[in-house]
Amino acid sequence: MTIQEIADWLEGEVVGEKIDKAPDILRVAKIEEADSGSLTFLANPKYEKFINSTRATAVLVSRKLDLNKYRDRASLIFIRVDDPYVAFLHVLKRLTPSIELFEKGIHASAVISPSAAIGQNVSIGAYAVIGSNSKVGDNTKIGAGCVVGNYAQIGSDCTLYPNVVVYHQCMIGQRVIIHAGAVIGSDGFGFAPKPDGKFEKIPQLGIVVIGDDVEIGANTTIDRATMGDTHLHNGVKIDNLVQIAHNVVIGENTVIAAQAGISGSTKIGKNCMLAGQVGIAGHIEITDHTIIMAQSGIHRNIEEQGKSYFGSPADEARKAQRVYAAMKMLPDMIREIGAIQKKIDALEKELLKK
């Protein structure tokens, strides 16, 4: 690709005098190892010194970088982009001969119900099972060993990696990626106590609805609703080993890191970020643009947008951090209080004397 082609594709801006004489980009490389024909990137300021010595043909830089100081590097061409590292990875991906992860077409061993509606250009792997009255949209790839339940719907341009299970009736949008071993639509965890201490299973009659452009990590579990639906809105990104309980609603573009868990009937707003191992209690609401820091536990509504929370039980992050800093002084505080007691006793005696 020419530098201009790359820049256009990345929606970047080319800066450099000698662009007409520059060779085509054949490969990508680290800034300290790049040579002629290489594209490199500068993301971490620590590496900025290499701008002066790199033998790369072109370098991806942030739009914020002041290029005036590199005027004497006349042979080097800069491509200004929003995020040089991400842009670099996109170019790397494009230049890497792609491995075909999913074979074309439907493997002879896949068991597909005659009543299933399978779209155009679908890939279905070996030993996948597609249930009755289900739908699979155009261009969707379903990995080996996946099981799609009866009446389930998978949109178009989705990717299900191997051994994913989608229970009956669940509905998945367009361009959804689900990693291996994830389970969508298992029963919510609902039991009614009986007088003898045993539990009676509460029927779980709802479904899971997943919007467009959602990604779901490996071995993550999303339970179906008791009634109605457990709902992940468009653009939600969920990491590995996350638990989403029955009737949970997650707003658009919310990101949930690994091993977090959300209890039943809780609503999470849009554009929130839940870090790893966070736990959210049931039947609460968390408003948009909320950040929950790692391992925190939330057990009450969060109503003010744009705040960060930390701790278990969690408090607003700045408050919580002040408390955790103060905690370290506790053994000293106990000692001081003891010393104060003694001084007061001494003062009281002294006063009595007078």
Q: Which two tokens stand for residue 315?
A: 């408090």
Among 258, 284, 291, 317, the residue binding a copy of itself under the rule CB under 8 A is 258
Instruction: State the binding string over 75-104 for a copy of itself (x if CB under 8 A, else -).
Output: --------x--x--xx-xx--x--xxx---
Instruction: List the interface residues with a copy of itself, window 275-314 (CB under 8 A).
Output: 276-277, 279, 281, 294-295, 297, 299, 312-313
Residue closer to a copy of itself (CB basis): 26 or 347: 347
Task: Compute the least distance from the CB of residue 20 to a copy of itself, in Å.
Answer: 30
Q: Which of 179, 246, 283, 299 is catalytic?
A: 246
Among 69, 283, 300, 343, the residue binding a copy of itself under the rule CB under 8 A is 343
Size of interface with a copy of itself, in residues (CB under 8 A) = 109
Among 27, 55, 73, 237, the residue binding a copy of itself under the rule CB under 8 A is 237
Instruction: List the interface residues with a copy of itself, window 147-166 (CB under 8 A).
Output: 147, 149-151, 161-163, 165
Instruction: List the interface residues with a copy of itself, window 118-147 (CB under 8 A).
Output: 125-127, 129, 143-145, 147
Cα dist from 26 to 50, 54, 73, 92, 97, whole Å: 21, 16, 21, 10, 12
Sequence-distant (6+) residues with CB within 8 A of 292 are 272, 273, 274, 275, 278, 280, 286, 298, 308, 309, 310, 314
Q: With contacts defined by CB under 8 A, name the span among 14-22, 37-45, 54-62, 209-217 that binds a copy of itself.
A: 209-217
Q: Which two tokens stand for residue 160?
A: 């299900």
Q: What DSSP line would sit under 302-334, residue for residue? A: B-STT-EEEETTEEEHHHHHHHHHHHTTHHHHH
Residue closer to a copy of itself (CB basis): 23 or 313: 313
Quick check: bond before 313 cis, omega within 30? yes
| Interaction between residue 21 and a copy of itself (CB under 8 A) | no
Count of residues for the chain?
354
Among 230, 259, 265, 290, the residue binding a copy of itself under the rule CB under 8 A is 259
| Interaction between residue 106 and a copy of itself (CB under 8 A) | no
Using alpha carbons only, give the angle 118, 179, 298 rounded to the nearest 5 degrees: 125
Phi, psi of 69 (to 5 degrees): -70, -10
Q: Which two tokens stand for residue 222?
A: 């999303």
Q: Which two tokens stand for residue 244?
A: 């989403």
Which uninterrupted H or E stretch holds 245?
Answer: none
| Interaction between residue 245 and a copy of itself (CB under 8 A) | yes
Among 41, 78, 167, 309, the residue binding a copy of itself under the rule CB under 8 A is 167
Active site residue 246: yes
Task: Compute the least distance from the CB of residue 341 to a copy of itself, in Å.
Answer: 7
DSSP state of 65: S
Task: Compute the least distance from the CB of residue 73 to a copy of itself, in Å.
Answer: 25
Q: Which two tokens stand for residue 299?
A: 């057990």
Among 8, 33, 63, 199, the residue binding a copy of itself under the rule CB under 8 A is 199
Using alpha carbons only, give the angle 237, 241, 246 rounded to the nearest 5 degrees: 75
Task: Compute the least distance from the CB of residue 180 to a copy of itself, in Å.
Answer: 4
Alpha-carbon dihedral angle through residues 110, 116, 117, 120, given to the nearest 10 degrees: 0
Active site residues: 246
